[in-house]
Amino acid sequence: MKISTKSQYGLRTMAYLARLKEKIPLKEIAKKENISFDYLEKIISKLEKAGLVLAKKGSKGGYFLAKPAKKIKIGEIIKTLEGEISFVKCIGVRKNHYCPREKNCLTRNFWKKLKDSLDFTLNSITLEDLIKEKKK
């Protein structure tokens, strides 16, 4: 499994917004974080649709967090940009998926534990935690 640049850049953008705590023009974020403006527009659009960021239009406009950094979990950001993370199909969230080996599979429990562990970690760290870590 590899996390895409979409999630890497999205997380960096969200951390940037959390750290500055003000409206920031997208061009400034792209420049400071060394991310293509066009690519960042697509990323920020998904984050905005998910209710994680808001935009204020106009000359003094920009993007800002939709809620406090302590209320935004890293898992929300990654799930918005990547979709549900699953290592194998039989552990995914698709309801119509059926594996004929499910009851006899010796490895299924391992994959489930791995997914549960990742989900726990992603949902136990907030944006505020990230920016506090940087200050240390």
Extents of the domains making up the chain: 5-85+126-135
CATH code for 5-85+126-135? 1.10.10.10
Percent of the chain with pLDDT over 90: 60
Q: What is the per-residue pLDDT across 51-81, written as a single tens digit (0 to 9) for each? A: 999 999 877 889 999 999 999 999 999 999 9
Torsion over CA of 21, 73, 134 and 11, rounded to 10 degrees?
-80
- Record the pTM: 0.85
Residue 35, phi then psi, degrees to nearest 5: -120, 140
Q: What is the mean pLDDT of residues 105-124?
A: 89
In the chain, the percentage of residues whose pLDDT exceeds 70 is 92
Examine the pLDDT at 7 and tell me if it is beyond 60.
yes
Distance CA(101)–CA(65), nearest Å, equals 44
Q: Is pLDDT at 123 greater than 90 in this prediction?
A: yes
- Mean pLDDT for the stretch of residues 119-132: 92
User: Which two three-digit tokens encode residue 4?
Assistant: 């895409």
Residue 95: per-residue pLDDT: 59
**pLDDT tens figures, 15-41:** 999 998 889 999 999 999 999 999 999
State how far the Cα of 48 lies from the Cα of 53, in Å rounded to an integer.
5
pLDDT of residue 33: 94
Closest CA to 52 of 42, 64, 70: 64
